[in-house]
Structure 1
Amino acid sequence: MKRIILFIGCLCFLCSITAQDRLLENSITPQQLQEVLQPTEKWVTYPAYTDRSAWTTRIPAEIRENIIKAGEKALAYEWKPDLATDYLAYKRRGEILTGRKNQTTLNTLVLAELVEGKGRFMDAIINGTWFLCEVSWVHSAHAYFQKDQSGLPDPDEPTVELVVADIGAQMSWIYYFFHDELDKVSPLIAKRIRNTVYQRLIDPYFARTDYWWMGFTPQEVNNWNIWINYNVLQAVLLLEKDTAQKATYVYQLMRSVDRYIDVQHPDGTCEEGPSYFGHAGANLIKFLDLLDRATDGHVNIFSNEKIKNIGRYIRRANIHNQYFVNFSDAAAKCFVSPGAVYLYGKKIGDRQLMGFASDFARRNGWKDKLHTGSLFARLLDDVLDAREILEGDSASIEETSFYFEDGQLAVARDSHRSDEGFCFAAHGSNNGVSHNHNDVGSFMLYYNGKPILIDVGVGVYTKKTFSSERYTIWTMQSGYHNLPTINGTDQHAGKKYHARNVRFTDRGKTVSFSADIVAAYPEETGVAQWIRSYTLKRGHRFTIADQWKLNNRNGEQILNFMTVCTPEIKDGYLLLKDKDFTLKMKYDSGLLQPSIETIPLTDKQLLNNWNVEQLYRIRLTITHPALQGKAQVYLEKM
């Protein structure tokens, strides 16, 4: 069916302001919330620790065995505190040395004891919980929230951030499951767990509203909001005994999450990318599901179209298997949470999304990974729901293209098979999104499910990544994306650097995307118009076209392309070689002069994403640029 979409980028923000704002607050009053909040035993769907039959029957034998083996290995773990110099390393050198091994090991032990139920992991669990009550939970990169800026965590000013929230929820579940067992050893243990969660998470959270991620300040929120709020909701529901106080807390959490939902695009685009969906959309569905159960269905917004689209984004942004569209800080390869994605599909009634999760779980050995993790409740959900997910129906690719109008993101492929032919993604947007790279108008291209022209992604996070020096990192710069360098100048950062006149068209045999990217470059660049377009002629070739109007020529015009393939320059074309195929990259040799730069990879995250020791930057320099002109580059299989 012929489908044409025209979207004017400057209207993007206005379109996101809808009558659906404040979905949670508008669904119930504080008084009504207090009346419908359920006691813990009504909303917790997990078996009690003492219900040994349920723990045996609900978990597949192979997964139970893996969990117990991991627990046995964890019995030998030595609890190691983060030293003062580990914290100071971030302040001094931008190096992150504080870890999460203590927390994840404790989760492994707790899971093993729940599954086995013989008490042999209990002493190790007591050691782990007591240890965590003794040491700081704050991540070294997040100590900046406190007044003291020395780099050390201040116990007199508890800071609420991601790791504190994770551990707080984890400890709340330990209290819930093992309260009676711990009291048999000493009543001080459970008491201390509860007191510590209040001191470090619950009380500090509700004592202030000025954390940027809460959404009550002018700063726009991101995945921190829903990540932290989901954890705090668990802690409040499990530990708070006063119903009126609990309702007050829950309503405040709802108000904060509304601020997160409000800034999401109606089409579901996750600007932070698919690898952040596990922290964003996945935690959103977990929060909403928990709220739905805790209110006996009285707070239920799953029928809202924006909520549905946030979940569908992850399927629509998939290229093939673990490869996803990865603009911004997203990794090219990510292991999406099959449990959360399956739940999302189930709650919104989307069987394709459920099937996508089941397929992903089966293809990627998910069942062998269900023994540790940093988010305890999500881990436990996965373990208890594994059989249903692994036995779920498969999904098909119904859409050979999809355009996210609000996010200005296009994804299109040759066929209904993800491992067959070309698949490209392109976006307009702006250079002021969360976890931004300067990449307005960039694209990525895959063939037979394998990367060809790529978005490199981001390396291991350091202090520099989130500082004023961010754009000195090469992976953040437009010159290391599939974009032009205009008059020797690359794109700048900030929301005002954006795409204009973004257009997407799918006519069946051909798919095209275009944007004027001139406003992504500073005014002094001296360019009046630069239209970058991409055309997929299904079953044949992929074309990159540039059309420009320069005010002057005061630097080089270079078309940059990043590739994971081995490039080889021929007469009038390049070969892009993969071990399974070779593509021809054709260009006008009378207009464009090719060169190739080798970029060695030393960063662990980039090495893991691309499985090669070097990438290549292809640079096609326009040799005789007129003030007005155009150039085309074609890719096709040899």
Structure 2
Amino acid sequence: MNRIQELTTIVNGMAPADLRLYYQGGDQRSFWEGIQRSGDYEQDISEIREEGERLLSVPNPPLTYDLFTRFARQGTRLDYEKVYFERRLRLNTFALLTLLEPDKEAYRTALQEMIWSICDEYTWCLPAHLNAESPGGIKGTIDLFSAETGFTLSEIRVLLRGHLPSLLISRIGEEVEERLFIPFLRREHGWETATHNWSAVCAGSIGSAALLLMESGESLAKVLLKTERCMDYYLQGFGADGACLEGLGYWNYGFGYFVYYADLLRKRSRGALDWFLAEKVSRIALFQQKCFLGGKAVVNFSDSHPESTVHIGLSHYLAGLYADFESPPQSLRSGYRDDHCSRWAPALRNLIWRNPLLEGSDWEEASYYLPDAQWLISRSSHGGEVYAFAAKGGSNGEPHNHNDLGHFILYGAGEAWCSDLGCGEYTAEYFGEGRYGYDCNGSQGHSVPIIDGHVQREGSDSAAVVLEAVTGKAVDRLRLELTSAYRVPALRAFTRTLEWNKKGHRPELTLSDRFTFDSPPGSLVERIVTRIQPELVLIDGRRVVMLRGENREQLKAKDSIPERPSSINNRQGLLIRYDNELVEPELTSHVFRDHFGKEAAWYAVDFNVKAPGLHANIDFKFQFI
């Protein structure tokens, strides 16, 4: 029996696609009445209701021709996407409010209008993902958001079937069939073999929609077969360590949609098809608890945000599957408005998958080395404050790649002192030839050297070699050979050692770089990146770079170097100590456009080697005060 025959047999014996997929015993009304009586959901419901009242008072924004064509004309995305996601927010909000208050006509009417409006959209894809010359044309293209939209409408149809007229029920089925199922089965799409979030989100959404809408055993089996292949490719993008190279945000996204699909598949197949039994899946599930530094601060290598919340529903679901999954503290719960893309699947599951009995707790002290990703992450508590350190090797040919081999993040007492800028504003050029001209992507915006005027080069041939990776109770250490990251003819060798010493009252980081050249370089610059404005101070007659916490006082005389400033008092700070005879510090300010199109400041602390020779041994100490 071949695989399609096996799947057809399973499909023919599947459980019905009804409310029992979502609620114990299929009792939807009792669930929603129950959470309204429970104080555990008070904040969630309040946020949804507030958003509903706001949206009832404003018109549904149109997706105009002008907005649709701006990406082609200008390369900008945010104008169209702001309206697109506002429309998804309206759909989600009125659907959830109808579930909460099924007898309120205003919500039900608004939901029906929103379903009709979204079914009327020319395409559910974003313009940035469209190519009219692709084999399927615009109408045959499936992207992340078209797949999500189809999944959303399919799920709303199942959950609210009794509150939707037959015309909308049939139209949802027709639109999803036309926009997703037919093009998915008719041809292969580029994302089907992607080893990153696209394969999971697109295939997971289509597979989920098919599990909810499709009645034909043969057709559903064909969708499940293609989806199975896509999920295999998605999982290939992870090493045995379970690390998501795209960062925690894309773990939430890609792995989230993998889980939403796997859950529906397991339930409908009565356990015959269960992705959660795979050992690699269990390791991927543990990635979240390894990424948090302290508070909302996360290891944000790649196109990831410096801070993150958690999908509490997804977290509680995984905690119910895996004994070593750490349930996060409630303080990290993502609010209803937090997702600027207004995704239905996590918003719903933040309610129906939430377990009020799982209170969660702060992340445990731990040190992790992820050998496939070549990430070292350490988190510890000192004097009631959390301090953390993260560094990476890897390659410069990763998904959502940044040129950042040897880069590190330093966190302590609520501040990210040495930072990763994270993701910038997504534009055509951001994913085009100019990608590494953006500071947040190129190595010029990372804490790595600039060697003889050269920054790191992109590509999988720019790869770190791990010489040593140690995690211990007292010391964590990562030593990397990074020569291939730079195309500097005279560079013979470059190694970087990062040692995180946790033994003292506060931890201390030592950075040691070793360079060997065939001929002296014209320049050698050690760059440290921070979002905190740096200062030069004198301590015991030696220059030191100081970073002060959020409440730091501004220096009255910016051009002077103060001697041991008394204004330090008890405020948190970081000192960067260096050899005054070997390097000369230079402090510069910069601006980049963040993911939301806003200008954000960052600072470069450049240590210029005064007389570069054939060898350079450069050491820095980072001390918390």
Which TM-score band (shorter chain)? 0.7 to 0.9
**How big is each residue's C-alpha offset from its partner over 1:117-143, in whole Å with a ceiling of 9 and x where there is no partner?**
104122212211111111121211111
Task: For 2:99, give the aligned amino acid.
Answer: L
> Which of these residues, 228, 252, 267, is aligned with residue 202 of structure 2?
228
Partner of 1:17: none
The 8 Å contact of residues 518 and 529 in structure 1, kept in 2 or not, is answered as: yes
Partner of 1:4: none
Distance 1:54 1:336 in 2: 23
Distance 1:535 1:469 in 2: 34
The 8 Å contact of residues 409 and 427 in structure 1, kept in 2 or not, is answered as: yes
Partner of 1:3: none
Structure 1: which 4+ aligned runs deviate by more than 6 Å? Answer: 25-28, 47-50, 370-373
Give the structure-1-normalised TM-score.
0.86
**How big is each residue's C-alpha offset from its partner over 1:362-418, in whole Å with a ceiling of 9 and x where there is no partner?**
2146466599973323322212233x24x414345445210001110000134389x
**SS of alignment partner, residue 253 of structure 2:** coil
Q: For the structure 1 residues 65 and 317, does the alpha-carbon distance in structure 2 shift closer, same or farther, using more than 3 Å as the test?
A: closer
> Which of these residues, 122, 127, 137, is aligned with residue 140 of structure 1?
127
Distance 1:53 1:447 in 2: 45
**How big is each residue's C-alpha offset from its partner over 1:313-345, in whole Å with a ceiling of 9 and x where there is no partner?**
111111012111011111111223121122122
Distance 2:95 2:416 in 1: 40
Q: For the structure 1 residues 507 and 28, does the alpha-carbon distance in structure 2 shift closer, same or farther, using more than 3 Å as the test?
A: farther
Partner of 1:124: 110
Q: Does 1:529 align with 2:503?
A: no
The 8 Å contact of residues 535 and 547 in structure 2, kept in 1 or not, is answered as: yes
User: How do 1:233-632 residues align onto structure 2 when only pairs under 5 Å count?
Assistant: 233-350=207-324, 352-353=325-326, 355-356=327-328, 359=329, 362-364=330-332, 366=334, 369=337, 374-386=342-354, 388-389=355-356, 391-395=357-361, 397-415=363-381, 420=385, 422-522=387-487, 524-538=488-502, 539=504, 540-570=507-537, 571-578=542-549, 579=551, 580-600=571-591, 603=594, 605=596, 614-632=601-619
> Which of these residues, 147, 170, 187, is aligned with residue 165 of structure 1?
147
Cα offset for 1:536? Answer: 1.2
The 8 Å contact of residues 272 and 330 in structure 1, kept in 2 or not, is answered as: yes
Distance 1:563 1:615 in 2: 6
Q: For the structure 1 residues 476 and 70, does the alpha-carbon distance in structure 2 shift closer, same or farther, using more than 3 Å as the test?
A: closer
Cα offset for 1:116? Answer: 0.5
Cα offset for 1:30? Answer: 2.4
Distance 1:376 1:455 in 2: 30
Distance 1:368 1:148 in 2: 36
Partner of 2:555: none
Q: For the structure 1 residues 148 and 299, does the alpha-carbon distance in structure 2 shift closer, same or farther, using more than 3 Å as the test?
A: closer
Q: Does 1:79 align with 2:60?
A: yes
Partner of 1:194: 173
Cα offset for 1:605? Answer: 4.1
Distance 1:71 1:421 in 2: 38
The 8 Å contact of residues 311 and 346 in structure 2, kept in 1 or not, is answered as: no
Q: Does 1:214 align with 2:192?
A: yes
Please say which of residues 484-493 and 244-253 is displaced more in the overlay: 244-253
Cα offset for 1:565? Answer: 2.2
**SS of alignment partner, residue 215 of structure 2:** coil
Partner of 1:18: none
**How big is each residue's C-alpha offset from its partner over 1:150-182, in whole Å with a ceiling of 9 and x where there is no partner?**
xxx966x33100111111111112322343443
Q: Which ranges in structure 2 are unaligned for 5 or more consecutive residues?
A: 552-570
Distance 2:340 2:529 in 1: 36
Distance 1:630 1:252 in 2: 54
Task: For 2:191, give the aligned amino acid.
Answer: W
Q: Which ranges in structure 1 are unaligned for 5 or more consecutive residues?
A: 1-24
Distance 2:404 2:364 in 1: 29
Q: Does 1:111 align with 2:102?
A: no
Partner of 2:554: none
Task: For 1:111, give the aligned amino acid.
Answer: L
Partner of 2:561: none
Distance 2:496 2:3 in 1: 43
The 8 Å contact of residues 205 and 257 in structure 2, kept in 1 or not, is answered as: no
Cα offset for 1:279? Answer: 0.9
Q: For the structure 1 residues 537 and 179, does the alpha-carbon distance in structure 2 shift closer, same or farther, using more than 3 Å as the test?
A: closer
Task: For 1:80, give the aligned amino acid.
Answer: P
**How big is each residue's C-alpha offset from its partner over 1:84-141, in whole Å with a ceiling of 9 and x where there is no partner?**
2212211111111222211220110011011111041222122111111111212111
Q: For the structure 1 residues 427 and 256, does the alpha-carbon distance in structure 2 shift closer, same or farther, using more than 3 Å as the test?
A: same
**How big is each residue's C-alpha offset from its partner over 1:191-246, in whole Å with a ceiling of 9 and x where there is no partner?**
2221111111121111111x22101xxxx431011111221122101111112322
**SS of alignment partner, residue 80 of structure 1:** coil
Task: For 1:412, give the aligned amino acid.
Answer: S
> Which of these residues, 57, 76, 92, is aligned with residue 34 of structure 2?
57
**SS of alignment partner, residue 130 of structure 2:** helix
Distance 2:348 2:339 in 1: 9
The 8 Å contact of residues 336 and 347 in structure 2, kept in 1 or not, is answered as: no
Identity of aligned residues (%): 24
Distance 1:460 1:501 in 2: 32
Partner of 2:85: 100
Please say which of residues 264-273 and 374-383 is displaced more in the overlay: 374-383
Q: CA RMSD in A?
A: 2.7
Distance 1:31 1:170 in 2: 25
**SS of alignment partner, residue 204 of structure 1:** helix
**SS of alignment partner, residue 297 of structure 1:** coil
**SS of alignment partner, residue 225 of structure 2:** helix
Q: For the structure 1 residues 606 and 306, does the alpha-carbon distance in structure 2 shift closer, same or farther, using more than 3 Å as the test?
A: farther
The 8 Å contact of residues 302 and 348 in structure 1, kept in 2 or not, is answered as: no
**SS of alignment partner, residue 152 of structure 2:** helix
Distance 2:93 2:309 in 1: 20
Q: Does 1:38 align with 2:5?
A: no
Q: For the structure 1 residues 231 and 560, does the alpha-carbon distance in structure 2 shift closer, same or farther, using more than 3 Å as the test?
A: same
Task: For 2:584, give the aligned amino acid.
Answer: Q
The 8 Å contact of residues 105 and 372 in structure 1, kept in 2 or not, is answered as: no
Q: Does 1:637 align with 2:620?
A: no
Partner of 2:568: none
**SS of alignment partner, residue 374 of structure 1:** coil
Task: For 2:269, give the aligned amino acid.
Answer: T
Task: For 2:609, give the aligned amino acid.
Answer: I
Q: For the structure 1 residues 163 and 334, does the alpha-carbon distance in structure 2 shift closer, same or farther, using more than 3 Å as the test?
A: same
Distance 2:493 2:222 in 1: 54
Partner of 1:10: none
The 8 Å contact of residues 529 and 605 in structure 2, kept in 1 or not, is answered as: yes
Q: For the structure 1 residues 344 and 596, does the alpha-carbon distance in structure 2 shift closer, same or farther, using more than 3 Å as the test?
A: same
